[in-house]
Each structure stands twice: as structure tokens, then as C-alpha cells.
Amino acid sequence: MISKENDPLMIEYLEKKIYDQKQLLEISKALNSTLDYKYLMDAILNICLAQLQTLQAAIYVSPEVDSDFLNWIRV
């Protein structure tokens, strides 16, 4: 009988959970470390790109946001 602790699928699942938690921590750090809008959007997008393993991402901001803060950010 194979123990759950040595099951490759369980190990992969737990490694993914750890990775996900680290990504959430990085987003949290970015949100709390700066007031620089462009840096913050870049940091969040880069973390999302890594998490989703994709090449492009976008953040859509509510129309109520002041247009002075809106910038198209390309990653």
C-alpha cells in the first residue's frame, strides 16, 4: 500500500498549493509596499502571468476611476 505522503499526485498537489500561497503573498507585498500605480499594476500583472502560465494579461478598471490614473500597461 502506498502512503499518501509518498504519492506523487499528492506531492504535486501540495507543491502547487505552496506555489499558490507564495504568489498570493507576493501580491500582498506589492499592494502594501508602494503607492506607485504603474509599479503596482506591473507587479500584479507579472504575478498573474506567472500563476496562469500565460504570455498576456490585462487589468480592467471600473469607469468610476479617475482617468488620470488609467494607463495601458503592456507586459
One DSSP character per residue, 9-35 reads HHHHHHHHHHHHHHHHHHHHHHHHH--
In a domain, 19, yes or no: yes
What domain count does the chain have? 1
Cβ contact 42:50 at 8 Å: no
Residue 71 cell numbers, joined: 494607463
Give residue 60's domain range: 4-69
Model-level pTM greater than 0.75?
no
Domain membership of residue 16 (yes or no) is yes
Q: Is the pLDDT of residue 69 over 80?
A: no
Contact by Cβ (8 Å): 20, 51: yes
**Considering the domain boundaries, does residue 74 fall inside one?**
no
Asked if residue 75 is part of any domain, the answer here is: no
Nearest to 18 by CA among 53, 4, 26, 48: 26
Q: What is the pLDDT of residues 19-67, one digit of tens each?
A: 889 988 888 887 888 878 788 888 888 888 888 888 888 887 776 666 5
